[in-house]
Amino acid sequence: MQSLIPNVPLPMSRAEMQEWWGWDELDILLVNGDAYVDHPSFGIALIGRSLVDAGFRTGIVAQPQCDDDFLVMGRPALFVGVSAGNIDSMLNHFTAARRPRRQDHYSPGGKAGLRPDRASIVYTNTVRKLLKGVPVVLGGVEASLRRLAHWDHWSNTFRRSILADSKADLLGFGMAEQQILEIAHRLRAGEAIKDLNDIRGTCWMANSREAIPDPWARGKVETPSFEEISTDTAKFAEGERVHFLEQDPQRGRVVVQPTGARFVVQNPPAPSLDETALDRIYGLPYTRREHPAYVAGVPALETVKATIVTHRGCVANCNFCSIVYHQGKEIQNRSVDSVVKEAERIATLPGFNGTISDVGGPSANMFRMKCGKMRKFGSCVHRDCLLPTPCPSLESGADENITALRRIRGIKGVKHVFIQSGIRYDLALRDGDAYIDEVARYHVSGIMKVAPESTDDRVLALMNKPSFDTFKKFKKRFQLASKKAGRRQFMTEYLIAGHPGSSLNTMVDTASALRDEDMQPDQVQEFIPIPMTISTAMYVSGLDPFTMQPIEVSRGDRERRMQKALIHSQKPDNRKLVIEALQKTGRMDLADKLLHGAVGSGNHLDDRAKRGGYVGPAYMAGGSLDQVIDEDEAKLDEHDGHFPEPGVENVQLACGTKVPKHLAEAAKKGGFNASWKGKKNTATIKPHQGRNPPRR
Ligand code: SF4
């Protein structure tokens, strides 16, 4: 279906319906929590453009503020599709510590507060009230990842499937173009929404077990009920495992979850899209801009404006990530020609500055990768595709990936082509030197971003990530490739703090390892137990859902903040939390290293005293946190290097002060005496006679 005027977005008003598209009514109304940006990185644009391409008159109500906004284009003939937007509305509104975010990158001008909390439920209720009798289909990330009972970090409770809470008729999970088109075609053919319970990639509510069909003859599997899950976290872990194992389009069975007197039913996932289907979706005539109704720009567009999505899916299965539940494990590739064509189009757009800022997907180097067995039989249950080492059946896509990058670099007007998507480094190492060399020579904008996520192999195993050694090998390989290319460029790492299995002690070791490796992570993300990840099941239950073995979990907000602060321990803002963490774990010996980046014996006092640096009495005495910080901050930087203060022969500590032995020993090594008597005696620390520490 073509618009009357070229290069216009889908309509957001009755005038646009008529003047741009020549429609008097809509077939489908899409209600969305984000501003409408007509770009293939935005879910609502993919769904809306696919529907119009298939001949359905589709309009978009974005971020409605009142009832009238829902009715601006009238009652649609077939159904209303509701989505909270590109990300979960609660994640969009609140930080990991549940503090409101000041900005919403998916709203014009970054303005916060233009969508309600739990937007899918609120919008569905409003549509039900205003457009009685019109079927409502839920979609988008929020609905997709809340399709079964889940943990809601923001209310600290378990919640039922969003289908039960919203009372929508159907829920399309995953990217959902296929499901939404099938629903539209069948409703247009006269079927009733209540009969559409056999569409793959959808969830629906059944009144009895007997009413649940299995037209795919794969069998059904039942998870613990919502009521069991919400009263027994072990049942939650069990349910998450059962559900996780059914995410494969080739072999996934019908999943049933009793909820109250009814049953939430998840049909098998939609089939993976082939190259032709994906090329068609990404080749639709997106304007790649915000809808012209917006005066202010939408910040989220700026980061993706000149980017190209090459594929969907990820074989990696990282436990903290929900991509497998949304896009599946199998890599669904676009053709190289289609990717290059999109780059050619970007190069002709007004305002293009010569830089394609990303060519990638969930992992950039999985483009054009294939596994014949996965396509035919589904992903293996007896082994992981990448761990402990990448599976030999996984065919590398590196050559075609390089071809695509070279062709894009050759397009007139393209000066730079960067890769911002993550690179799965164990796969990159396996796939030989050519890809890393190509990336290092041409596709890094000075700093390569990589996500080792942790330095601790035990935590990495719980995340289902490769070992830290594998990361170090990749880093070396990248440095070598950069040197060969004559390019001075760096690597910056992304890490997660507070993942299940990561205690305060683990994070202190991680912080220390980062200094040893001279790593300065760019971003530290505090682990957020978002709905529908294996890591969230670990966090909530304290169990590994696959082995049901206990896992150490940090749940207190303060401890989680300390973990995060340790990664950026040299930032002045983190100082208090870092010292608190070191005191708690009895690792003040690392204070100098972590706070000031010194690399030496690892003993703060020892190192500092040997250098003649200032070691304050409160520090020496293991004083209270506030004393230590006040003293340290006030005196450390401007001090001339003597301990004690010039002219002071010794430091008299208050009676009863406990001097930690390791600090006293360190002081002695540095040329000081520390002595104390009895259990509660005065401690005195004074320089050895004739051995004043050298000046710095
Ligand atoms: S054969 Fe290998 S790559 Fe393919 S699904 Fe099985 S483990 Fe994964």
Provide the CATH number for the domain around residue 171: 3.40.50
Which range among 106-120, 160-174, 644-658 shows the weakest confidence by mean pLDDT? 644-658
Separation of CA 695 and ligand 1 centre (Å): 62
Average pLDDT over residues 466-486: 94
Among protein residues, the one with the nearest Cα to ligand 1's atom 1 is 393
Does residue 423 have its Cβ closer than 6 Å to ligand 1?
A: no
Ligand 1 contacts CB of residue 46 (under 6 A): no
Q: 281: CA distance to ligand 1 center in Å?
A: 27
Q: Does 82 lie in the same domain as 196?
A: yes
pLDDT value for 654:
47
Q: How confident is the model at residue 672 (pLDDT cuts 50, 70, 90)?
A: low
Q: Are residues 438 and 453 in the same domain?
A: no
Whether 301 is covered by a domain: the verdict is: no
How far, rounded to the nearest angstrom, does the alpha carbon of residue 129 sit from its chain's CA centroid?
Answer: 35
Could you give the dihedral angle defined by the CA atoms of residues 534, 540, 544 and 549, in that order, rounded to the nearest 10 degrees? Answer: -170
In a domain, 281, yes or no: no
Q: Give the Å distance between the CA of 447 and the centre of ligand 1.
A: 32
Q: What is the pLDDT of residue 665?
A: 59
Location of structure tokens 């039989």: 377
Task: Return all residues near 337 (Cβ < 8 A) that are at least 6 apart.
Answer: 279
Question: Which one of 163, 186, 204 terminates a domain?
Answer: 204
Distance CA 386, CA 75 (A): 49
The finding on whether 317 has its CB within 6 A of some atom of ligand 1 is no
CA-371 nearest atom, ligand 1: 4
Assess whether 31 and 138 both reside in one domain: yes
- Predicted local confidence at residue 446, as pLDDT: 80
Ligand 1 centroid to residue 313 C-alpha, Å: 14
> Which atom of ligand 1 lies at the shortest distance from residue 392's CA?
2
CATH of the domain at 345: 3.30.750.210
Average model confidence (pLDDT) across the chain: 88
Looking at 444, 473, 505, the residue that finishes a domain is 444
The two three-digit tokens of residue 616, written as one number: 């304050």
> Does 22 share its domain with 93?
yes
- Residue at 269 is within a domain: no
Cβ atoms of 469 and 531 within 8 Å: the answer is no
**Based on the domain organization, do 43 and 139 belong to the same domain?**
yes
Q: Are 79 and 124 in contact (CB under 8 A)?
A: no
**Mapping DSSP to helix (H, G, I), strand (E, B) and coil, where does residue 59 land?**
strand
Ligand 1 within 6 A of 389 CB? no
Give yes or no for residue 75 CB within 6 A of ligand 1.
Answer: no
Any domain includes 260: no
H or E, element range at 340:
helix 336-348
Asked whether 379 lines ligand 1 (CB < 6 A), one says yes
Measured from the CB, is residue 380 less than 6 Å from ligand 1? yes
**What residues contact residue 231 under an 8 Å CB cut-off, 6+ apart?**
none
Q: What is the ipTM of this complex?
A: 0.94
Residues 615 and 576 in one domain: no
Q: Nearest-CA neighbor of 107 among 286, 287, 285, 295? A: 295
Whether residue 100 is found in the same domain as residue 126 = yes
Report the number of distinct structural domains present in the chain.
Answer: 4
Question: Does residue 331 have its Cβ closer than 6 Å to ligand 1?
Answer: no
Lowest mean pLDDT among 49-58, 357-366, 386-395, 489-498: 489-498
Q: How confident is the model at residue 667 (pLDDT cuts 50, 70, 90)?
A: low
CA distance 363 to 323: 11
In the chain, pLDDT over 70 holds for what percent of residues?
85
Identify whether 293 is part of a domain: no
The string of DSSP letters for 136-200 reads: EEEEHHHHHHTSSSEEETTTTEEE--HHHHH--SEEE-SS-HHHHHHHHHHHHTT--GGG----T
Residue 176 lies in a domain: yes
Distance CA 555, CA 8 (A): 49
- CB distance 300 to 105 below 8 Å: yes
Q: What pLDDT shows up at residue 491?
A: 85
For ligand 1, atom 8, the nearest C-alpha belongs to 385
Q: Is the same domain home to 181 and 321?
A: no
Return the DSSP state at 94. B
> How do the residues of the chain divide into helix, strand and coil, expressed in percent and rounded to 5?
40, 15, 45
- Bridge partners, residue 138, by sequence: 82, 171
Q: How far apart are CA 427 and CA 218, in angstroms?
A: 33
518-555 burial, b if ≥16 CB within 10 A, otherwise e? ebebbebbbbbbbbbbbbbbbbbbbbbbbeeeebebbe
Nearest CA to ligand 1 atom 7: 385
Is ligand 1 within 6 A of the CB of residue 387? no
Whether residue 579 sits in one domain with residue 497 = yes
Q: How many CB atoms lie within 10 A of CB 154?
A: 17
**pLDDT score recorded for residue 619:** 56
Residue with tokens 């503020």: 65
Residue 228 tokens, joined: 């069991």
Domain finish residue from 152, 180, 204 = 204
pLDDT digits (tens, 9 = 90+) for 301-351: 998 999 999 999 999 989 999 999 999 999 999 999 999 999 999 999 999
CA of 296 to the centre of ligand 1 (A): 47
Whether 282 and 40 have beta carbons less than 8 Å apart is answered as yes
Nearest to 96 by CA among 86, 88, 84: 88
Cα–Cα dist 664/676, whole Å: 10
> 394, 396, 427, 464: which to mutate for ligand 1, most atoms within 8 A of CB?
394
Same domain, 74 and 178: yes
Tell me how far apart the alpha carbons of residues 152 and 307 are, in angstroms, rounded to a whole number.
Answer: 32
pLDDT > 50? residue 687: no
Which residue's CA is the nearest one to ligand 1's atom 6? 380
Q: Is residue 622 part of a domain?
A: yes
Residue nearest to atom 5 of ligand 1 (CA): 379
Nearest to 407 by CA among 332, 310, 495: 310
What CA–CA distance (Å, rounded) separates 188 from 169? Answer: 16
Determine if ligand 1 sits within 6 Å of the CB of residue 374. Answer: yes
CATH of the domain at 558: 3.30.750.200
Using CA atoms, how far residue 157 sits from 152, 216, 321, 420, 540, in Å, is 6, 35, 20, 36, 10
- Is 3 part of any domain? no
State the residue range of the domain holding 511.
Answer: 446-602
Q: Please state the atom number of ligand 1 nearest to the C-alpha of residue 372.
A: 4
Domain co-membership, 393 together with 461: no
| Ligand 1 neighbour 391 (Cβ under 6 A) | yes
> How remote is the C-alpha of 334 from its chain's centroid?
23
C-beta of residue 28 within 8 angstroms of C-beta of residue 172: no
Ligand 1: distance of its center to the CA of 461 in Å? 19
Q: Is the distance from the beta carbon of residue 366 to the nearest atom of ligand 1 less than 6 Å?
A: no
Is 461 in the same domain as 579? yes
